[in-house]
Structure 1
Amino acid sequence: MAKLVIYLNCEDARSQAAFYTEALGGEILNMVTYEAGPWSDMPEKDKNKIMHMTFTAGGVLFYACDSIGEPIQRGNGAFFYLSFETEEEAYAAFDRLAVGGEVIESLKVQFWGDLFGQLKDQYGVIWQIAVENTSPSM
C-alpha cells in the first residue's frame, strides 16, 4: 500500500510553507538545509536553501524543497483539490489562498451540486476548493 504526499519544488520553500500554514492552519514540522548535506562543492548562495521540509496545512501533510540549479516551471497537469466539511471553511480557505493570486473560477454552487471554485495562488499552484454534495443528482 502506498501513501500519497504532495511534494512541492519551490523557489522559496520557507515563505511558501508559511503562506499555506497561515492560510489553511497547520505547522512546519521540520526543515533541513542543503548546508547539512555531504556536498563539499555546494555554492555558498545555496547552503541556506531548503533541502527537505515537512509541514501540515489544512490537515494535509506536505513535503517541500527549494529548487537549485533551474527555475520552477508550473504546469496545469495536476491540481490540489481540498474538500471541506462546511461552506465557512471552504470560503475562508479560498479567500486566504487567493491573496496575491488569481481566481480562475469563483467559489459557488455548481450544476452538479457541489460548492466549487478554482484559483492559482501567488506561487503558481492551482487549488480546487469544494464542499461536496452528499446527495448528488448526477
Structure 2
Amino acid sequence: MITISPYFTFSGNCREAMTFYQDCFGGVLNFQCVADAPLSDELPQPMKDCILQASLVKDNLVLMATDMVAEEGLTHGNSISMMVSFSNEDAIRQCYQKLSAGGQRSRPLELSFWGGLFGCVKDKYGNDWLLSLPQAQ
C-alpha cells in the first residue's frame, strides 16, 4: 500500500504550527529536536532548538513537518493544498473554525452542488486546506 503524507517546512515555528494542527485535528504529536540528533554538538544553539522532524497522527491523517529550511529559504506557493475528508458534520465544522483562526476563509463551509459540505481555508501559516464531508448529513 502506498500512502502520501504532507510534509511542511517551517522557519523556526514548526512546534507552534504542529501544536496548532493538533488542536485542530486531535491526534498524537511527536517532535525530534535538532539537539537530539547526532553531531548536534557542532551546531550553534539557535539551530539546536529547531525541530528536525515532527509527526502528527490521527487515524489515517499523518502530517509531517520540520524547521530545516534549505539554503534558498522558505517560500509559500499556491500549488499544493491539503485535502481532508471528514465523516461527520460536527468534526468538519469544528476543524474549519479552528483552522481559519488567524487565517483566511477562502471558501465558506457550505453545501456544494455535488451534495457534500465543502470549504477552503488558508491557515495563519499560509497553508491551504480543503475540507470535505462527502455527503452532508
TM-score tier after normalising by the smaller chain length: 0.7 to 0.9
User: Per the alignment, do residues 17 and 58 of structure 1 end up closer, same or farther by CA in structure 2, a change over 3 Å counting?
Assistant: farther
1:54-104, Cα deviation, whole Å (9 max, x unpaired): 222575112211034554211111111111111111111100110000000
CA RMSD in angstroms comes to 2.0
Mapped contact 1:56–1:62 kept (Cα < 8 A): yes
Q: What is the aligned counterpart of 2:127 among 113, 125, 128?
A: 125
Structure 2: segments with no counterpart, 5+ residues: none
Mapped contact 1:55–1:63 kept (Cα < 8 A): yes
- Aligned 1:81-100 pairs, distance under 5 A: 81-100=83-102
Mapped contact 1:34–1:49 kept (Cα < 8 A): yes
Mapped contact 2:40–2:48 kept (Cα < 8 A): no
User: CA separation in 2, counterparts of 1:89 and 1:45?
Assistant: 38
User: CA separation in 2, counterparts of 1:73 and 1:22?
Assistant: 25
Structure 1: segments with no counterpart, 5+ residues: none
TM-score by length of 1: 0.85
* Counterpart position of 1:6: 6
User: CA separation in 1, counterparts of 2:64 and 2:23?
Assistant: 16
- The Cα shift of 1:5 comes to 1.8
Aligned residues: 133
TM-score by length of 2: 0.86
Alignment partner of 2:135: what SS?
coil
* Counterpart position of 2:61: 60
User: CA separation in 2, counterparts of 1:57 and 1:104?
Assistant: 25
* Counterpart position of 1:116: 118
